[in-house]
Amino acid sequence: MYDAVTDSYCYEGGMVLKNIPGIRDQASLNEFEAAMTMQRSDEPLPPGELSVAHYCAIHHHLFQDVYEWAGKFRTVRISKGGSAFCYPEYIDQEMQKLFDGLEHQNYLHELSADVFATRAAHFLATLNAIHPFREGNGRAQTSFILLLADRADHPLNIDKLVPGRFMEAMIASFEKDEQQLAVELKRLTSRTTR
């Protein structure tokens, strides 16, 4: 659960996010959100050029049945476990800078597996620190990194993902230690045997 001050995204008097079906119970919303995003993740992702707009389109695709604001940057400050994510007034410029850098690096194409994993870990860590959406950042990040890796000719095998280990690596990357995340991404490349 995110910590947010005066959160216009939530129903008054609670922490349940306003949602399209009007669900007011957190457990029920969690179930609905999981079912809808799972269904949408089975569909082809929207086409695009691995840009900010494409990233927003992916978030919208996954969450369009759940939240009116799917694919739109958040307008409130949020934190998790006492760590603040990018303030909303800087999201647009930080996202543009991050994705311009990705384009400048030729979308991590034609790199060795090690270099790809290191640069992809840095990209993912930065994207996570920005946390542009009010909810659904992790699922959008996963969908995007899978697409990026596939296009960079370093496809990831999601079946090898160990959620606890990957979450630990993401948390470490938020604390500026991206090595563990790079190791996890390298382990997920379909060319590795571990």
Residue 194 lies in a domain: no
- 80 domain-assigned: yes
Q: What is the pLDDT of residues 128-147, one digit of tens each?
A: 999 999 999 999 999 999 99
Alpha-helical regions (H) of 47-152: 52-63, 88-104, 113-130, 137-151
Sequence-separated (6 or more) residues with CB below 8 Å from residue 112: none
Predicted TM-score (pTM) of the model is 0.92
Rounded to the nearest 10 degrees, what angle do helices 179-188 and 163-174 cross at? Answer: 150
* Residue 181 near residue 169 (C-beta atoms within 8 A): yes
Spell out a b/e string for 90-113, using b for 16 or more CB atoms within 10 Å of the CB, else e.
Answer: ebeebbeebbeebeeeebbeebee
How many helices (H) and strands (E) are present in the chain, helices listed first?
7, 3
Is 172 domain-assigned?
yes
How many distinct structural domains can be found in the chain? 1
Q: pLDDT (tens digit, 9 = 90+) per residue, 170-186?
A: 999 998 899 999 999 99
User: What are the distances in angstroms from CA 135 to CA 39, 61, 141, 178?
Assistant: 17, 14, 12, 23
Q: Which domain does 63 fall in, by range?
A: 3-188
Could you tell me the pLDDT band of residue 5, with boundaries at 50, 70 and 90?
low
Strand order in the sheet with 83-84: 3-4, 78-80, 83-84
Q: Looking at residue 162, which CATH number applies to its domain?
A: 1.10.3290.10
Question: Do the domain assignments include residue 193?
Answer: no
> Looking at the domain assignment, is residue 98 inside a domain?
yes
Is 147 within a domain? yes
Give the pLDDT band of residue 190 (cuts 50, 70, 90): low
